[in-house]
């Protein structure tokens, strides 16, 4: 797969047009348009690297999804569309998600509008945190599964492959305000035994200030460095306009 083809697939899933990509990556629109059409000489290597970062990829001994963020991909599954074409981009990017586990997720108290509108899936591994949002037809069930994402598997053996989460995390999920920590707790079904309100009361009782808490967080987590790259796969991505630099899609 060529780099321009990879970016085109990702742009479709993150719902980003050429003008927006160009603005975020600081690239002239016409140059980007020509590069996406296959003219390598229209973008410098650094511009391509910037573009990859904008699309959520990390270039680190291979191409992989950035493991420091929660990614959101969107799919429109209307009643008149063909399923194979609807999920084609997801299938073509399976190498980025190999080894991941999949589950549907909904609120513990879903509203009717939520049930009928969108279906959310979590795709996760040690280095991948992806939310796939499917805008679905009333008459058709979404098809995000290991059959679509090759090399992935279901999170569990339940019949519906569905987990639930509390309203607070659900709101963060829907509003794209989910942290990696919250994603992991949701996916791993870690219950919230202590709320922020509880912590606030404890802090007042023991005279702990916001500065104390901030300092403790920085001392404990401030120096954490994301883990190294995983195993490389065998599909090269040619980034350099000279054809001399090839990176590889890395499994999740």
All structural domains of the chain: 1-63 (1.10.260), 66-189 (no CATH), 193-220 (no CATH)
> Helices 45-54 and 29-36, interaxial angle, to 10°?
90
Would you say the C-alpha torsion 166, 168, 172, 177 has a positive or negative sign?
negative
What is the side-by-side order of every strand in the sheet holding 57-59? 57-59, 63-65, 246-250, 232-238
Residues of the chain with pLDDT under 70: 112-116, 192-195, 198, 222-252
* Distance in angstroms (rounded) separating the CA atoms of residues 235 and 238: 10
Query: pLDDT value at position 230?
Result: 40
Nearest to 68 by CA among 85, 53, 87, 81: 53
Q: What is the pLDDT of residues 184-226, one digit of tens each?
A: 999 999 876 666 776 887 788 788 888 888 888 888 876 544 4
Count Cβ atoms below 10 Å from residue 125 Cβ, excluding itself.
Answer: 18
Q: Report CA Rg, the chain.
A: 20
Residue 2 CB partners (closer than 8 Å, separation 6+): 38, 237, 238
Query: pLDDT value at position 65?
Result: 95
* Distance in angstroms (rounded) separating the CA atoms of residues 57 and 130: 12
191-196-198-203 Cα dihedral, nearest 10 degrees:
140
């Amino acid at each position: 797969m060529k780099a321009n083809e990879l970016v085109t697939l990702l742009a479709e899933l993150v719902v980003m047009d050429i003008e927006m990509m160009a603005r975020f990556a600081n690239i002239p629109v016409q140059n980007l348009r020509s590069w996406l059409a296959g003219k390598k000489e229209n973008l410098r290597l650094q511009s391509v690297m910037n573009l990859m970062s904008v699309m959520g990829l990390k270039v680190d001994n291979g191409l992989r999804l950035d493991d420091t963020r929660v990614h959101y991909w969107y799919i429109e599954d209307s009643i008149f569309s063909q399923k194979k074409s609807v999920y084609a981009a997801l299938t073509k990017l399976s190498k980025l998600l190999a080894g991941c586990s999949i589950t549907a997720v909904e609120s513990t108290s879903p509203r009717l509008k939520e049930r009928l509108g969108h279906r959310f899936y979590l795709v996760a591994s040690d280095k991948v945190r992806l939310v796939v949002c499917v805008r679905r037809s009333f008459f058709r069930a979404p098809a995000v599964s290991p059959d679509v994402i090759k090399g992935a598997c279901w999170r569990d053996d339940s019949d519906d492959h569905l987990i639930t989460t509390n309203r607070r995390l659900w709101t963060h999920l829907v509003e794209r305000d989910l942290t990696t920590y919250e994603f992991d707790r949701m996916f791993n079904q870690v219950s919230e035994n202590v709320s922020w309100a509880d912590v606030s009361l404890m802090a007042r009782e023991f005279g702990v200030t916001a500065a104390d808490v901030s300092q403790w967080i920085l001392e404990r987590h401030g120096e954490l460095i994301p883990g190294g790259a995983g195993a490389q796969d065998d599909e090269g991505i040619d980034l350099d306009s000279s054809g001399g630099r090839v990176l590889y899609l890395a499994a999740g």
